[in-house]
Amino acid sequence: MLTLQEVEHIAILARLELSAEEKERFRRQLSAILEYAARLQELDTSGIPPTSSVLPPRSVLRPDAVEPGLSVEELLKNAPRSENGQFRVPPVLGLE
């Protein structure tokens, strides 16, 4: 069973604000899912390599050449706030 503290810790890592009711619900539901997932421990996987891609391993390279991309104007079109051709954000330095 996950504890409330663990749920709160994961929520901070995931950058999610959760209500008290959500924390309790996720604690219950995630515990049930993780308990179900625990059956994977039944399998002996020593010597089995992990699969991160089903494709054959290969390097994908392209010429290092400058190509046209999206304009600054187009890139900022979907930004919630922008100013002087830049994304506008609250201060990111000086936080405790």
Partner 1 sequence: MTDLTQLTLRQAHQALESGECSSLELTRATLERIERLEPKLHAFITLTPELALEQAAQADQLRARWRREGGELPPLLGLPLAVKDLLCLAGVRCTCGSRILENFIPPYTATSVERLLTAGMVVIGKTNTDEYAMGSSTENSAYGPTRNPWNLRHVPGGSSGGSAAAVSARLAAAALGTDTGGSVRQPASFCGITGLKPTYGRVSRYGLVAYGSSLDSVGAFGRTAQDVALVFSQMAGYDRRDATSMDLPLPAIQLEDDDSSLAGLRIGVPDEYFIQGIQPEVENAVRRAIVSFEALGAFVSPVSLPHTEYALPVYYLIAPAEASANLARYDGIRFGARLDSDNILDLFTRTRGQMFGAEVKRRIMLGTYALSAGYYDAYYGQAQKVRTLIKRDFEQAFEKVDLIAAPVAPSTAFRFDEHLDDPLAMYLEDVFTLPANLAGVPGLAFPVGFDSNNLPIGMQLMGPHFREDLLFRAAHAYQQTTDWHQRAPSLS
**Chain residues in the site for partner 1 (CB under 8 A):** 2, 6-7, 10-18, 22, 26, 29-30, 32-34, 36-37, 39-41, 43, 45, 48-55, 60, 62, 70, 74-75, 77-81, 87, 89-92, 95
Q: Are the C-beta atoms of 87 and 79 separated by less than 8 Å?
A: yes
Cβ at position 79, least distance to partner 1 in Å: 6
Q: What angle do CA 41, 43, 45 make, to 5 degrees?
A: 100
- Count Cα atoms within 13 angstroms, Cβ side, for 95: 4
Smallest gap from residue 44 Cβ to partner 1 (A): 10
Least distance to partner 1 from the beta carbon of 84, Å?
16
C-beta closer to partner 1: residue 50 or 85: 50
Question: Which residue spans within 1-96 are E strands per DSSP?
Answer: 82-83, 86-87
**Smallest gap, in angstroms, from Cβ of residue 41 to partner 1?**
7
φ, ψ dihedrals at 28, nearest 5°: -65, -50
